[in-house]
Copies of this chain bind each other. A is one copy, B any other.
Amino acid sequence: MAMLMIGELARRTGVKVNTIRFYEDIALMPKAARTDSGRRTYSEADVKRLSFIRNGRDLGFSTEELKSLIALSEHPDLDCGAAAGIARRHLLAVEARLSRLMLMRWELERVAANCEGGRMADCQVIGAIADAPSH
């Protein structure tokens, strides 16, 4: 399979070159294989893993959480009560986020529509978001 350089991996995943190196430092990404001249090389599996990390980070998972999720999925022969536990814990957080995000969307839609060219005397963004449930 075709090996890619760090720049190509960056382009494919939307993760910056420096950030990829940083992820290697903190062991979120494995130590990349190198060419004779010392350049990092990556495979398709790395594209997947990094895409997962990117999405996970964007959704609010910490690097440590992502590490544990990845570690678990890399040992499919182990019992996965732990994975289920992690999953359930995250499920709660994800659900809370979902409901607040939906409220936020609703309010943003209202603001974008109502304020159109007008005044914002009744702009309730802050009121609405302030009252949103906190986890």
What is the number of residues of chain A that contact chain B, defined by CB distance less than 8 Å?
Answer: 58
Evaluate contact between A120 and B76: CB separation under 8 angstroms.
yes
Taken together as a complex, chains A and B put the C-alpha atoms of A118 and B51 apart, in Å, by 27
Taken together as a complex, chains A and B put the C-alpha atoms of A14 and B95 apart, in Å, by 19
Evaluate contact between B134 and A55: CB separation under 8 angstroms.
yes
Interface residues of A in 66-97 (CB under 8 A from B): 69-70, 72-73, 76-81, 83-84, 87-88, 90-91, 94-95, 97
Question: Closest CB-CB distance, A84 to chain B, in whole Å?
Answer: 4
Taken together as a complex, chains A and B put the C-alpha atoms of A67 and B29 apart, in Å, by 35
Evaluate contact between B51 and A131: CB separation under 8 angstroms.
yes
Q: Indicate if A49 sits at the interface (CB-CB under 8 A).
A: yes
Known: A55-B100, A90-B108, A134-B55. A76 touches B119 (CB 8 A): yes
Interface residues of A in 34-66 (CB under 8 A from B): 48-49, 51-52, 54-56, 58-60
